[in-house]
Amino acid sequence: MIPAIRGTHDILPGEVERWQRVEAVSRRLFERYGYAEVRTPIIEREELFAKGTGETTDIVQKEMYAFTDKGGERITLRPEATPSLVRAFVEHSLEQAMASPKIYLFGPMFRYERPQKGRYRQFHQLDVEVFGVSDPAVDAEVVDLAWALVGELGIANAELVVNSVGCPACRPAFGEALLKALGEDVTRLCGDCQRRAGVNPLRIFDCKVPQDQPIIDGLPHSVDYLCDACRDHFAAVERHLGMYGIPYRVSHRLVRGLDYYTRTTFEILAGNIGAQNAILGGGRYDGLVKQLGGPDRVGIGFAAGIERLVLAMPDGARDDGRRPLFVAAMGEPARESALALLRDLRRAGLEAHMEYEGRSIKSQMKRADRLKAAFALILGDDELAAGVVSVKDMTKGGQARVSRDAVVNHCRALVAGGQE
């Protein structure tokens, strides 16, 4: 047998239903908030992420799957969605094409890193982006959407963490303050942090090395170095979150792992999935569209790892409300009538199954149990002679005889009644 590649995984029946729930709940919410779906390629030019995600990030320096294709072009499997969505926004002039440039995406991403619980080399994200709105109210709307998503998925013990990382006008002073506060301690940090100190000191806050944490905890806070405009913006975001009644905590450690963030950053943490507990995160990136060759337009958004959302969802989220039907045939004469009934049920929009191997009625009912059928529709010689179908309630055990002409509408009413 040839096994799956390390860091990838198959999503099988029994688990895929949870993924479908995440996708269905997300789509309903996103469209309720006015977002439209976009689907971008999983391969892009390498320079898109080098310029967009940031050459100093671990993603670009260590984790991207990049290669030269047969035409000699450098290609990358997308490690995140935002630069791809910015490219699509610019390339297809979505600002003019859409009444409101608010878009979302589902899809696989790729990063070469050590696989662990909820983290794979091929992983999946949902992504939300808004372009062209600088008002802090839209920051709060995006956070509100993220918080609503977590709530509708039933994820308990979630925590919202927010921060502001300033803008190009005030961030240099914060970077200088970080280096000054580090002083000689920079040589005590891990090799990655020593490198980060030279290229982008804010990246030091991304460090997960345990022995570095006491040093990092003592560093200055970005909110203490904000310019007046950034300070006013963050205060307005906090005011809106308070108005919405969304609980949150300000954390100076939250700078996010990407170079393009400006001003607002946020994450939602889950308390039940272990150390890698960030299930969703995002923020504002006001210079990225122009940096990637587009007009000078601001942007804000978030991404969530679908694997982590699935892990954080309660077990009860497996119940998707399905009410399947099972058609059982006793004997060859009933089989053709059963096949016709099966087709009629499906044409009526009902989920229906049947055993094709001609097994005993006992084996067929066992199959109905395995399929978690709500009702079994039984056809035999007696039913054929009387022009009826025996409808058995697989949960309560009762059974009724319904005329063949009326049985489809009868089943539709039974299924609808169970979903109320």
Give me the DSSP letters along 306-327: HHHHHHHS-GGGG------EEE
Structure tokens at 222: 């970005």
Structure tokens at 71: 């035409």
What's domain 325-419's architecture? Answer: 3-Layer(aba) Sandwich (3.40)
Centre a 10 Å sphere on the Cβ of residue 91 and count the other Cβ atoms it contains. Answer: 11
The whole-model pTM stands at 0.82
For residue 191, list its beta bridge partners.
none
What is the average pLDDT across 94-99? 90
Q: What is the model's pLDDT at position 258?
A: 66
Collapsing DSSP to helix, strand or coil, 376 comes out as strand
Q: How far is CA 416 from the centre of its chain?
A: 30
Rounded to 5 degrees, φ, ψ at 255 are -115, -10
Q: Please give the DSSP secondary-structure letter assigned to residue 14.
A: T
Q: Is the pLDDT reported for residue 338 higher than 70?
A: yes
- Which of 34-48, 51-65, 176-190 has maximum average pLDDT? 34-48
Q: For 15-24, 56-65, 236-245, which range has the lowest pLDDT when averaged over its residues? A: 56-65
Among the residues of 255-351, which ranges form H helices?
A: 288-291, 306-312, 332-347
Q: Is the pLDDT reported for residue 18 higher than 80?
A: yes
pLDDT band at 180 (very low <50, low <70, confident <90, very high): confident
Q: Is the pLDDT reported for residue 137 higher than 50?
A: yes
Rounded to 5 degrees, φ, ψ at 259 are -70, -20
Q: Is the pLDDT reported for residue 243 higher than 80?
A: yes
Cα–Cα separations (whole angstroms), residue 174 to 164, 166, 178, 202, 284: 12, 9, 6, 9, 18
pLDDT band at 256 (very low <50, low <70, confident <90, very high): low
Collapsing DSSP to helix, strand or coil, 404 comes out as coil
Q: Nearest Cα to 123, choosing from 275, 291, 7? A: 7
Tens-place pLDDT, residues 84-93: 999 999 999 9
Q: Is the pLDDT reported for residue 233 higher than 80?
A: yes
Structure tokens at 160: 């919202």
For residue 377, list its beta bridge partners.
327, 391
For residue 45, list its beta bridge partners.
75
Amino acid at 70: K
- Structural class in CATH, domain 16-170+226-317: alpha beta
Q: For 203-207, 294-298, 324-328, which range has the lowest pLDDT when averaged over its residues? A: 203-207
What is the average pLDDT across 344-365? 90
Structure tokens at 1: 């047998």
Q: What is the model's pLDDT at position 204?
A: 81
Q: What is the model's pLDDT at position 321?
A: 62
Q: Is the pLDDT reported for residue 202 higher than 50?
A: yes
pLDDT band at 156 (very low <50, low <70, confident <90, very high): confident
Share of the chain above pLDDT 90, in %: 54
Q: Is the pLDDT reported for residue 55 higher than 80?
A: no
Q: Nearest Cα to 251, choosing from 209, 298, 205, 282? A: 205
Q: For the chain, give every domain's residue range.
A: 16-170+226-317, 325-419
pLDDT band at 116 (very low <50, low <70, confident <90, very high): confident
Q: Is the pLDDT reported for residue 303 higher than 50?
A: yes
Q: What is the model's pLDDT at position 65?
A: 87
Q: For 39-43, 258-262, 303-307, 360-364, which range has the lowest pLDDT when averaged over its residues? A: 258-262
- Which of 131-135, 255-259, 353-357, 412-416 has maximum average pLDDT? 131-135
What is the average pLDDT across 201-214? 79
For the CA atoms of 14, 18, 20, 22, the dihedral, rounded to the nearest 10 degrees, stands at -170
Q: What is the model's pLDDT at position 316?
A: 59
Q: Nearest Cα to 174, choosing from 238, 125, 224? A: 224
Q: Is the pLDDT reported for residue 318 higher than 70?
A: no
Question: Can you give the C-alpha Rg of the chain in angstroms?
Answer: 27
Tens-place pLDDT, residues 28-44: 999 999 999 999 999 99
Cβ-in-10-Å burial (0-12, 13-18, 19+) of 73 comes to exposed
pLDDT band at 207 (very low <50, low <70, confident <90, very high): confident
325 vs 414: CA distance, rounded Å: 10
Q: What is the model's pLDDT at position 260?
A: 81
What is the average pLDDT across 173-187? 81
